[in-house]
Amino acid sequence: MKCRADLRVCLNCAAYDPRVAQQCRERRAEPVLEKQVGNFCEYFEFVKRAWAPKEVQNSREEAARAQMKKLFGD
């Protein structure tokens, strides 16, 4: 996500499912072509996801930390 991005998009909806027709489990909803763009679907409901931190370490961050430790003698 980025600043000022639309949150009410199909990709954030509980009914979004890429494996079904029109990629939406809500049969009464009108088809939306651009799933990443904001829309006004009356059946929209935010999907509830569990937050999980990234497992991948940032190599640039690790290199910068190593240089700081070396510089300050830690």
Whole-number Å distance between alpha carbons of 34 and 26: 16
Q: Is the pLDDT of residue 1 over 70?
A: no
Assess if residue 55 is contained within a domain. Answer: no
Q: Identify the bridge partners of residue 16 per DSSP, sorted by sequence position.
A: 24
Assess if residue 21 is contained within a domain. Answer: yes
For residue 8, which of 48, 50, 36 has the smallest C-alpha distance?
36
Assess if residue 74 is contained within a domain. Answer: no
Q: What is the pLDDT of residues 50-70, one digit of tens each?
A: 877 767 677 888 888 889 999
Q: What is the pLDDT of residues 12-31, one digit of tens each?
A: 999 999 999 999 999 999 99
Q: What is the domain extent for residue 39? A: 1-47
Assess if residue 24 is contained within a domain. Answer: yes
More confident residue, 11 or 1: 11
Assess if residue 12 is contained within a domain. Answer: yes
Whole-model pTM: value is 0.63
Q: What is the pLDDT of residue 61?
A: 83
Q: What is the pLDDT of residues 37-47, one digit of tens each?
A: 999 999 999 99
